[in-house]
Amino acid sequence: MMHFFNPLLSHWATQTGPSFWLPAPVSNFADTVDGDFYFVYWVSIFFLVLITALLVIFMMKFKAPEGQKATSQNDHNLILEVAWTGIPVILSFMMFWYGYKGYVAMATAPSNAMTVTAEASRWLWNFTYPTNGAVVPGASEDFNEIRMGIRDGSLTPEAAAEREAKVLEKAGLHVPVNTPVRIKVMASDVLHSLFIPAFRVKKDCVPGRIGELWFEATEPGVYDLLCTEYCGQGHSLMHSKVVVHESQESFEKWLEVAASYDETLPFEQLGEIVWKRKGCVSCHSLDGSNKVGPTWQGAFGSLRQYTENGVAGSTTVDEAYIEESIRYPMKKIADGYPGQMPVVKLTDKEILWVTEFIKSLGK
């Protein structure tokens, strides 16, 4: 039976472009996942049509005259009963078997796979490359601005593509083509889920646990990376990109400069870059509007009311307070805001730049 259906599954799995349901497949798992998906899909469609048609036919053919009472019927057809029990059992077993084989393959990464750590927090991604310690942001805010620019007409497709390419120089998940890549996923605050539709891979990010998925991208290009576990107000904005480099050399060249900064820029400009890269933009506005956290406009030098270990207090927002709030975000919770800021790993230089940026926003 399995050998009979294998050619059919292979036919369903030969999708080469985007379909109504799925984007174009570009990973080693795409054919397997697509084959399983379309097998379940068409079996479901077949039985939906069959059962609905029989229901309508039987309703019309065996409709009793008005006023006739129902009669008891206790005979049965053994062959029919075996058929309508046995066929669904066989199909269910096949669905399990093909799904199980695919799961085992997706859960077992090759020993030579390149490792990248993906850390999720509200509402951003950070990708760490152990080979050189580079921590690369997902840059969700930048991609959201580009997407909104296309929608409202302020960006042409050409301008949007150019801006996206600029952002991707130092953002997003980058991998080489035809290379096994192991992604270790984790979350710093609440449940998230990493999903790359074109690769057909998905893994939940659970606080306090390290999950794992792997894939091998088969086509160079830029692909969507999404969060598919509702994680709060900014969930729909928590997306990034995957860049598949055309060669190992191209990837390694990118990795050399991935997390660097142009330190010839003024400190306040570098601080604005950090504000975007590290996801501060998700919770702290620059225009005085309230988001999940306090606005940075006019913050420096102002009086901040807070609660520490259940005790109310106040302090002036200065360099020491800013550094403490970054390193120990749950120590002094600003009044009127929930205590939910994750620990954002910034270097001493990045903290200095952020502080100067906040200073530049006025008092």
Find the angle CA(75)-CA(80)-CA(82) to the nearest 5 degrees.
Answer: 105
**Strand residues in 208-362 grouped as ranges (E):** 211-216, 221-227, 239-245, 303-308, 311-316, 333-334
Please check whether residues 221 and 123 belong to one and the same domain.
Answer: yes
Please check whether residues 121 and 252 belong to one and the same domain.
Answer: yes
34 part of a folded domain: yes
71 part of a folded domain: no
Provide CB contacts within 8 A for 298, sequence distance 6+.
288, 361, 362, 363
CA distances from 357 to 117, 127, 273 (A): 29, 24, 10
Q: Is the pLDDT of residue 132 over 80?
A: no
Please check whether residues 43 and 128 belong to one and the same domain.
Answer: no
pLDDT digits (tens, 9 = 90+) for 251-276: 998 988 876 777 888 898 888 888 87
- Structural element, H or E, at residue 88: helix 78-107
261 part of a folded domain: no
pLDDT band with cut points at 50, 70 and 90 for residue 130: confident
241 part of a folded domain: yes
CA distances from 136 to 116, 164, 205, 356 (A): 11, 15, 18, 22
Spatial strand order in the sheet of 211-216? 134-137, 124-129, 114-121, 180-187, 211-216
Q: How far apart are CA 33 and CA 192, in angstroms?
A: 22
Q: Is the pLDDT of residue 142 over 90?
A: no
Q: Which CATH number characterizes residue 287's domain?
A: 1.10.760.10
Please check whether residues 293 and 213 belong to one and the same domain.
Answer: no
Parallel/antiparallel/unpaired status of strands 201-205 and 173-176: unpaired
Please check whether residues 252 and 329 belong to one and the same domain.
Answer: no
pLDDT at 74: 74
Please check whether residues 128 and 180 belong to one and the same domain.
Answer: yes
How many domains does one find in the chain? 3
Please check whether residues 83 and 140 belong to one and the same domain.
Answer: no
137 part of a folded domain: yes
99 part of a folded domain: yes
CA distances from 218 to 31, 51, 64, 179 (A): 12, 41, 61, 8
Please check whether residues 135 and 22 belong to one and the same domain.
Answer: no
- Model pTM greater than 0.75? no
262 part of a folded domain: no
Please check whether residues 277 and 351 belong to one and the same domain.
Answer: yes
Of the two residues 157 and 345, the one the predictor is more confident about is 157
Least reliable range by pLDDT among 103-117, 261-275, 302-316: 261-275
Please check whether residues 121 and 193 belong to one and the same domain.
Answer: yes
Q: Which CATH number characterizes residue 172's domain?
A: 2.60.40.420
- Structural element, H or E, at residue 36: helix 30-61
225, exposed or middle or buried, with CB in 10 Å at 0-12, 13-18, 19+?
A: buried
pLDDT digits (tens, 9 = 90+) for 172-218: 999 999 999 999 999 988 899 999 999 999 999 999 899 999 999 99
Q: Is the pLDDT of residue 8 over 60?
A: no
What count of Cα atoms within 13 Å lies in the side-chain half-sphere of residue 189? 19
For helices 78-107 and 30-61, the axis angle rounded to 10 degrees is: 160
Please check whether residues 131 and 190 belong to one and the same domain.
Answer: yes
What residues pair up with 295 in beta bridges, in sequence order?
A: none
pLDDT band with cut points at 50, 70 and 90 for residue 9: low
- Residue 343 structural domain: 267-360
Of the two residues 356 and 279, the one the predictor is more confident about is 356
Q: Is the pLDDT of residue 12 over 70?
A: no
Q: Is the pLDDT of residue 153 over 90?
A: no
Three-state SS string over 165-210 comes to HHHCCCCCEEEECCCEEEEEEEECCCCEEEEEHHHCEEEEECECCC
